[in-house]
Amino acid sequence: MIELLLLLLPVAAASGWYTARRGMSRKKQKQQPQIAPVYFKGLNYLLNEQPDKAIDLFIELLDVDSDTVETHLALGNLFRRRGEVDRAIRIHQNLIARPSLNREQRAQALLELGQDYMRAGLFDRAENLFLELTELKIYNEQAYIYLLEIYQQEKEWQRCLDVADKISVSHFPSLPNAVAHFYCELAEQMLSQQNISAAEGYLKRAQQVQRNNVRALLLQAEIDYTRGDCRSVVKLLQQVEENEPIYLSEVLPRLVECYKQLGRQHELFEYLQQLYQRHHCTEAMMILSEMIVEKEGESAAVDAMLRHLEEAPDLKGLERLVRLNLQRSEESPKEALEVLLVSVMKLLEKQPAYQCDHCGFTAKKLHWQCPSCKRWGEIKPQQGLTRSIKANAVT
């Protein structure tokens, strides 16, 4: 209540002053103007915790003209930022209803009201206002950006692409990345309908917009895998490693499977060794440790995992180390190792597998668009224990 009082007192003061000034002008009073009684009525509403009545009263006092439009806009914007969307909507609707507004003032009020509707989840109403602005050709760049946000919320990917064509990259630097993901979304829709040809067409467009887009490479690799074209899968997944090694955890299981289907296990061992030398990736070491057991025995695998954990501490690597020791352990320490293994597995269950590099949102599965900040391609697999956790939301 105190915050609202502090917010509205300047408006009330301006209202009282403005009303008194207009009354003095009309009556040509020479004496000092008296503050309008309605001003005290508004304050009384505030003090009696009736803010809605106070707001209505002060809005009526502020006649809409060139001197007060900015006051209305600022007050509505302030309410929206405070989360009081209903009040913001009332102020901006009151403003738009006035016939005295010029073309630019009306457009500005429409833009603000559209944002109010978006904040309230009334996307249809917001869309209509923003489309009106694009027809007026004023504030149309901002209107297109808000339309893009609405269509993403509604998963209207073709509409997203249509709007994106009308937005300048200088106003939206991350637009090419977003557009590539729009094409990937359409490709996934086509794959769900078994329309492989259309899906590949969208993936090619995604690569044209953003070369070596990880999501497009992964989707194309899955298409080629269903065809049995393991050579193409290996080539595509190696491109992911070359451009975005952070996604190795998403790539390695399928890559290992294709190497084995091609009968190239020896090449796989050498490739994983090179991969580990380049990135010190836990996932690569875990696969290598299994192959080392077959080639050199469990002790060699334990030594390799110990060296890895010294350089890059990681719960997954620790779990693998405990399992290796269990395989070669005697009965006495085996019980303690089993307890340790259970503890590590519980810690792994609580640890989020993915984190947004922009806002810190954490998740158990990969989202290509962050549910929190709505950015595309910012959620990445977590690596080791060194990455900071900026948020606690886990889905």
| pLDDT, tens digit, 9 for 90 and up, residues 261-279 | 999 988 999 999 998 889 8
381 forms beta bridges with 354
Asked if CATH classification 3.30.2020.30 holds for the domain at 2-164, the reply, yes or no, is no
Query: What are the sequence ranges of the domains in the chain?
Result: 2-164, 174-263, 268-350, 353-395
The CATH superfamily label for domain 174-263 reads Tetratricopeptide repeat domain (1.25.40.10)
- Tell me if 359 is assigned to a ligand binding site: yes
Q: What is the pTM of this model?
A: 0.76
Q: Give me the sign of the Cα torsion angle 49, 50, 52, 56.
A: negative
- Tell me if 356 is assigned to a ligand binding site: yes
* Whether the predicted pLDDT of 242 surpasses 50: yes
Instruction: Decide if 2-164 and 174-263 have a common fold.
Output: yes
- Tell me if 370 is assigned to a ligand binding site: yes
Residue 98 has, within 13 A of its CA and on its CB side, a CA count of 23
**Rounded Cα distance, 295 and 217, in Å:** 33
**Rounded Cα distance, 243 and 127, in Å:** 38
Letter for the amino acid at 313? P
* pLDDT tens string 290-346: 888 888 888 888 788 777 777 776 766 766 767 776 676 555 566 555 656 666 566
